[in-house]
Amino acid sequence: MLSRTADNLYWIARYLERAETSARLLEVGARIALMPSAAGYRNEWESLLHASGTADGFARKYGDAVQRNLESWFFFDRDNPSSVASCITAARENGRIVRTALTTQVWDALNTAFQELRQLERRPRSEMELSFLTDWTMRSTALVRGSIDATLLRNDGWDFLNLGYYLERADNTARLMDVKYYVLLPRVDFVGSGLDNYQWTTLLRAMSSHRAFHWAYGGEVTAPKIAHFLILNSQCPRSLITCVEGMTNHLDRLARSYRRKTAAQDKARGILAELAEMRVEDIFDEGLHEFLSRFIGDMARAGGVIHDCYLNGDVR
CA separation (Å) from 193 to 189, 213, 243, 257, 292? 8, 19, 31, 52, 23
Only segment of 126-134, 202-210, 213-221, 305-313 that touches other proteins (CB under 8 A): 305-313
43 near other proteins (CB under 8 A): no
CA atoms within 13 A on the CB side of 293: 8
Q: Distance (Å, rounded) from C-alpha 218 to C-alpha 48? A: 28
Instruction: Please identify, using beta-carbon distances, which residue of 113 and 292 lies nearer to other proteins.
Output: 113
Instruction: Please identify, using beta-carbon distances, which residue of 4 and 289 lies nearer to other proteins.
Output: 4
Q: What is the DSSP letter of 188?
A: G
Give me the least distance between CB of 63 and other proteins, in Å please: 34
Give me the least distance between CB of 142 and other proteins, in Å please: 21
Give me the least distance between CB of 208 and other proteins, in Å please: 31
Q: Distance (Å, rounded) from C-alpha 155 to C-alpha 43? A: 46
| CA quadruple 34, 38, 41, 46: dihedral sign | negative
Q: Distance (Å, rounded) from C-alpha 178 to C-alpha 31? A: 17
Instruction: Please identify, using beta-carbon distances, which residue of 61 and 96 lies nearer to other proteins.
Output: 96
Chain positions 137 to 166 lying near other proteins, rule: CB under 8 A, are 156, 160
Q: Please classify residue 131 by burial: count the beta carbons closer than 10 Å to its beta carbon, then call 0-12 exposed, 13-18 middle and 19+ buried.
A: exposed
Build a one-symbol-per-residue string for 75-114: x at contacts with other proteins by CB under 8 A, - elsewhere: ------------------x--xx-xx---x--xx--x---
Give me the least distance between CB of 103 and other proteins, in Å please: 12
Chain positions 47 to 76 lying near other proteins, rule: CB under 8 A, are none
Closest residue by Cα to residue 185 from 70, 293, 47: 47
Give me the least distance between CB of 124 and other proteins, in Å please: 24
**Under 8 Å between Cβ of 160 and 2:** no
Instruction: Please identify, using beta-carbon distances, which residue of 35 and 315 lies nearer to other proteins.
Output: 315
CB-CB neighbours of 12 under 10 Å? 28
- Amino acid (one-letter) located at 135: D
Only segment of 73-81, 134-142, 253-261, 273-281 that touches other proteins (CB under 8 A): 253-261
Sequence length of the chain is: 316
Between CA 44 and CA 52, with CA 50 as vertex, the angle to 5 degrees is 110
The number of residues that bind other proteins (CB under 8 A) is: 25
Give me the least distance between CB of 100 and other proteins, in Å please: 4
Give me the least distance between CB of 93 and other proteins, in Å please: 7
Instruction: Please identify, using beta-carbon distances, which residue of 131 and 257 lies nearer to other proteins.
Output: 257
- Residues near other proteins (CB under 8 A): 1-4, 6, 93, 96-97, 99-100, 104, 107-108, 111, 156, 160, 254, 258, 260, 310-311, 313-316
